[in-house]
Amino acid sequence: MLQRLLLIVALLGGALPALAQSQQQGTPEERAACAPAVQKYCKSANEDPMRVLACLQANRAKIGDACNKVLVSHGQ
């Protein structure tokens, strides 16, 4: 579901930048749960939410329980 939402947001592009940014990054708690994993494993993908999601999925065994729970809660 999150992946589908991110794809829709990416396709909309610049049409709704403020809305897109708020929807692609999750809640502050979700961002905090995954921030260490993003910094450690996905730094090069940090500007593209779809690449960040793919990177977190690819590194699932390394990212920690809190971030894994965020992904699971969004059907990933």
Cα–Cα distance measured from residue 3 to residue 49, given in angstroms and rounded to the nearest whole number? 9
Cα–Cα distance list, 28 to 12, 14, 23, 25 (Å): 23, 23, 11, 8
Q: Where are the domains of the chain?
A: 2-73
The values of phi and psi at residue 64, to 5°, are 95, 160
* More reliable by pLDDT, 51 or 8: 51
For residue 33, name the pLDDT band (cuts at 50, 70, 90): very high
Cα–Cα distance measured from residue 6 to residue 60, given in angstroms and rounded to the nearest whole number? 19
* More reliable by pLDDT, 25 or 13: 25
Cα–Cα distance measured from residue 37 to residue 56, given in angstroms and rounded to the nearest whole number? 7
